[in-house]
Structure formats: C-alpha cells, structure tokens
Amino acid sequence: MPTDAISSSSAINPALTGSSRLPTKTLGQDDFLKLLVAQMSSQDPLNPQKDTDFIAQMAQFNTLEQSKVMQADLSGLRSDQQLARAGAMLGQTVTVDPGDGSAPVTGVVTSVQTTSAGAKLVVNSKAYTLDQVTQVSVPVGSTVNPSAANPSAAVPSSAVPSTAIPSSAVPSTAIP
C-alpha cells in the first residue's frame, strides 16, 4: 500500500495542515522563566549580569502576577455586588429604559438572571441590565418596610421615650 509523502508529512508537522499555534497577547510565568534562562545562558561569562538585576526582574514579575490576581478578585467582587443589587430589587416596581428608542417599561422585578455580562432583572418576562433601570419604587400595598430606605423613619416619634429631665429633679444652684 503506497503512502503519499505529502499527507504523511502533514500529519507529522501541524504547521503544514494549517492548525498552527495562535500567538498569545500576554506573557505568562512560563514565558518569563524561558526568557530568564535564555538571558542567563547567553550572557558573557567574563562580564556576567548582576544578580540584583535578576532579582529586580523577579520582583517585577511577582508584582505583575499579584496585580492579575487582584484584578480577578475585584472582578468577582463586582459581579457579587451586582447580583446583590439585583436581588434587592426583587418584588420592586422598576422603570427601565429599553435602549432601543421605545417608551420606558414599568413592571415588577420577578427574577434575576446571571449572565457573563452581569446580573439582569426580569421585568414583564424580558431581561434588562441594571444600567437600564431609571426608577425603583415599592409596589402599592406591599408589605415591604418603607423604613428600610429611610432608617430615620423606622420608629415613629411618639414611640420614642422622652429623655427630658423634670425640673424638680434638677437641683437649683443659686448664684449669689
């Protein structure tokens, strides 16, 4: 059974098949270590690079890695905060701007969806982003505590005991 030299060589060399490796836009830790090894192996043995230069490069790379981790953590916190904001609107009447030039939509938030773009509110069976919300109000006849929005209104003033001291309890001090 004869084999075709072109097809057998393209099976061995993926570059010939068109499925070559795509270039990446960022350097990772492995790339940095490869560069460091190449730098160390190609330096002049009579005039080697100072170890402080390598330490400085390692410190810079460590700082870069830490900032990437912090960025990922902040992104997670942002997603959690969006979900909490959206969850707080469940049962609330909201007005949203659809963004397509049509009239604003008003309705009760019936559920919250999480997508790769962030949390979305479902109003009248359609999903909207938090950025599209223009107004939030408590539905009429709701059992939601309106004092949650205004803590100073939580306790009526008639229920707060008076802290005034009766004048008979204050000793009089006459000034001669």
Is residue 90 within 8 Å of 112, Cβ to Cβ? Answer: yes
How confident is the model at residue 154, as a pLDDT?
43
Is residue 87 predicted with pLDDT exceeding 50?
yes
Is residue 111 within 8 Å of 90, Cβ to Cβ? Answer: yes
**What is the average pLDDT across 49-56?**
75
Of residues 64 and 36, more confidently modeled:
64
Please give the backbone phi and psi of residue 109, each rounded to the nearest 5 degrees, phi first. Answer: -75, 115
Longest dimension (CA), the chain: 130
Taking the CA atoms of residue 121, residue 122, residue 126 and residue 129 in that order, the dihedral angle to the nearest 10 degrees is 0
Residue where the block lists tokens 């090894």: 37
Highest mean pLDDT among 10-14, 22-26, 30-34, 158-162: 30-34
Q: Alpha carbon of 122 to those of 73, 94, 98, 116, 138: distances in Å?
A: 27, 10, 12, 16, 16
Domains of the chain: 61-138 (2.30.30)
How confident is the model at residue 47, as a pLDDT?
76
% of the chain residues with pLDDT over 70: 62
Tens digit of each residue's pLDDT (9 = 90 or more) over 117-126: 888 999 999 9
Confidence label for 159 from pLDDT (cuts 50, 70 and 90): very low
Lowest mean pLDDT among 13-27, 64-78, 114-128, 155-169: 155-169
How confident is the model at residue 95, as a pLDDT?
93
Of residues 175 and 102, more confidently modeled:
102
- Residue 144, C-beta contacts closer than 8 angstroms, at least 6 positions apart: 91, 92, 138
